[in-house]
Amino acid sequence: MNASSKPDWGSSYRLIAADKWKAKSAAMGRDVTQALVDYAQPRAGMKILDLASGTGEPAISLASRVEPGGQVTALDLSAELLEIAAERARERKLTNLTIKQADAHELPFPDNSFDLVTSRFGVMFFETKALQEALRVLRTGSRACFLAWGPFEQPFWLSMMGVAHKYAGGERTPPGQYPCRYGQPGSLSAALREAGFQQVEEATKTLPWTWPGPAEEVWEQAQVMSTPFLPMIKRVPAEKWEQMNREVLESLGRYADGGSIKFGATVVLASGTKT
């Protein structure tokens, strides 16, 4: 991904929304985060690198699992989002998490530095170079574990971005920024093998993905936080906004249950080993 095609992960609007919705976003992602942490099998004393950490998950959950003696580095392009992660770690009195602003495609670490590499919803935006960098910084015998979105055709995306696309037309996202690029079974495994990983595994799971609030909230959050879709949303003509908004809220209403929006999330878990 070249510099001109990189999404603006740290825009001021996104940072405000990330802080405003951090508790509810964390609640929505809790089961998905736990699935990746369990899949990664962290152990006490491990040195872990979490890529595209954003506001701190799964780095924070991993840090609590590798005590005593373990250390987690949360890495992201956005220093501002990492500050939110650091604040959340301090709130939990975690002293074994450090933050690092850097590009996953150019990791500022020596070879063979980590016992585990993870990324939740980041690998979809990595080129092969980032996967090769993850492999380089792993110690021999260690794994990289990734979680990516499954297909676009699932409630969370169709109810909001699917509806918006009807009104916007054109491409859903810019080239190289498609969150569901690994929705096809086996495609993430193929990318890991291409990067040089061995003993590659992949599984698809459907997990709880619930917004603890009304439809209007999750739509507001999605309009700011779903960065790759923002150019599409901005293309919706002003005269169509009211109709689109009404249709999105009607679509979200199908998943309303007891004051929450219960989507479910189909995700891909994949890992590879450095041999």
Confidence band of 175 (pLDDT split at 50, 70, 90):
confident
3-273: CATH topology? Rossmann fold (3.40.50)
Write down the pTM of the prediction.
0.91
**Domain-wise residue ranges, the chain:** 3-273
pLDDT at residue 68 above 90? yes
pLDDT digits (tens, 9 = 90+) for 203-250: 999 999 999 999 999 999 999 888 899 999 999 999 999 999 999 999
Count the Cβ atoms, other than its own, within 10 Å of residue 1.
18
**Which one has a higher pLDDT value, 20 or 54?**
54
First to last CA, the chain: 27
